[in-house]
Amino acid sequence: MSNEDDARRFSLGTGRLIQRRHFLGCGDGEEGGGGELSKIYEERRVLGYSQEQLFNVVLAVDLYHGFVPWCQRSEVLKQYPDGSFDAELEIGFKFLVESYISHVEFERPKWIKTTARDTGLFDHLINLWQFKPGPIPGTCELSILVDFKFNSPLYRQVASMFLKEVATRLIGAFSDRCRLVYGPGVPVDENS
C-alpha cells in the first residue's frame, strides 16, 4: 500500500479512539483476554502556524528529546536517497525506559509517516501526520493518526487509559515548539 493510499484510507475525525479486531476475534493470540489487535487514535486541529512551519517542526525528529514529552533521546541514524530516514527514539517514564527505531517518510509539506522498526516494544506503531492549509491564512489543519499495539499487555492497558491525554500533550508540545521557533501564531478559534 502506498503512502497516498494510507492517507486516503484514514478518514480523520476529532479525538477519536478506535479499536481494531481480527475477523471473529481470531489471530492475535489473546482471544480470551480482550484481544484488541490495535488501537487507533485520530485527532484533527487547526493551529496558528503555516503548513510548512508545522511540517518542519514535526520532521525535526532529532530534536524531539528537547520538547516531546517522555522522549529522552532522539537521533537520526541513517538517511536514504529518497529523503526518508531512520531515527532511534528512547521513551520513558520513571523506571520504564524503552527505545525503538522509526522509519520516517514524507512529502513536503503535506504528510509525514513514521513506522516503528526493529522493536520489542511495539507489535506495530504507525503515525500519520497530515498538514493542510487552514481556514485562515497562516494557519494549518493538522490531522494525526496513531495506529499501535504494544507487545506488553501491561503497556497496552496503561496506554488505553491515557491515550487521549498523551495525544493532547503531544500536539501541545509541537504547538509550543512552533511558538518557540516561529514566535506567536495566528489567533485561532479553539473550536476549529
7 belongs to a structural domain: no
Q: Which ranges of the chain have pLDDT less than 50?
A: 1-35
161 belongs to a structural domain: yes
Total number of domains in the chain: 1
Q: Report the largest interatomic distance among the alpha carbons of the chain, rounded to a whole angstrom.
A: 52
| Three-class SS state of 179 | helix
> What pLDDT does residue 175 have?
92
pLDDT tens-digit profile of 90-116? 988 777 788 899 999 999 999 999 999
135 belongs to a structural domain: yes
CATH at residue 90: 3.30.530.20
33 belongs to a structural domain: no
42 vs 144: CA distance, rounded Å: 6
> What pLDDT does residue 181 have?
97
> What pLDDT does residue 169 have?
87
> What pLDDT does residue 76 have?
97
Cβ contact 106:93 at 8 Å: no
Type of residue numbered 120: G
18 vs 1: CA distance, rounded Å: 21
pLDDT tens-digit profile of 37-66? 578 888 899 999 999 999 999 999 999 999
3 belongs to a structural domain: no
Q: What is the pTM of this model?
A: 0.78
Spatial CA neighbour of 75 closest among 46, 104, 55, 34:
104
4 belongs to a structural domain: no
Distances (CA, A) of 108 to 32, 93, 105: 44, 32, 10
